[in-house]
Amino acid sequence: MPGIVAGKVAIVTGAGRGIGRGIALLMAQEGASVVVCDIGASLQGAGGDNGPADEVVGAIKAKGGKAVATTLSITEPKNAEAIVKLALETFGRVDILVNNAGILRDVIFHKMSHSDWSDVINVHLNGSFNMSRAVAGIFREQGSGSYVHMTSTSGLVGNFSQANYMAAKLGIMGLSRGIALDMARFKVRSNCIAPFAWTRMIDSIPEPKDEKEKRRLAAFQQMTPEKIAPLAVYLGSEQAAAVSGQIFAVRNNEIYLFNQPRPIATMHEPKGWTAAGVAEKFDGEFKTKLTPLERSMDVFHWDPR
pLDDT (tens place) for every residue of the chain, 305 residues total: 789 999 999 999 999 999 999 999 999 999 999 999 999 865 655 655 789 999 999 999 999 999 999 999 999 999 999 999 999 999 999 999 999 999 999 999 999 999 999 999 999 999 999 999 999 999 999 999 999 999 999 999 999 999 999 999 999 999 999 999 999 999 999 999 999 876 554 554 556 567 666 666 666 677 889 999 999 999 999 999 999 999 999 999 999 999 999 999 999 999 999 999 999 999 999 999 999 999 988 898 888 88
Alpha carbon distance 14, 45 (integer Å): 11
Residue 42: its pLDDT value, please?
55
Residue 47: its pLDDT value, please?
58
Residue 204: its pLDDT value, please?
46
Alpha carbon distance 204, 26 (integer Å): 26
pTM over 0.75: yes
Question: What separation in angstroms does the CA of 144 have from each of 138, 141, 179?
Answer: 9, 8, 13
Catalytic sites, residue numbers: 165
Alpha carbon distance 94, 110 (integer Å): 43
Report whether CATH 3.40.50.720 matches the domain 9-260: yes
Please give the angle made by the CA atoms of 148, 152 and 158, to the nearest 5 degrees.
155
- R_g over Cα of the chain: 21
Alpha carbon distance 200, 23 (integer Å): 16
Residue 183: its pLDDT value, please?
98
Q: Are 97 and 132 in contact (CB under 8 A)?
A: yes
The neighbour count for residue 170, using CB atoms within 10 Å, is 17
Alpha carbon distance 290, 258 (integer Å): 18
> Going by C-beta distance under 8 Å and a sequence separation of 6 or more, which residues neighbour residue 304?
196, 219, 220, 222, 223, 251, 252, 253, 254
Q: Are 279 and 44 in contact (CB under 8 A)?
A: no
Residue 48: its pLDDT value, please?
59
Alpha carbon distance 143, 90 (integer Å): 21
The H or E element that residue 147 is part of is strand 145-150
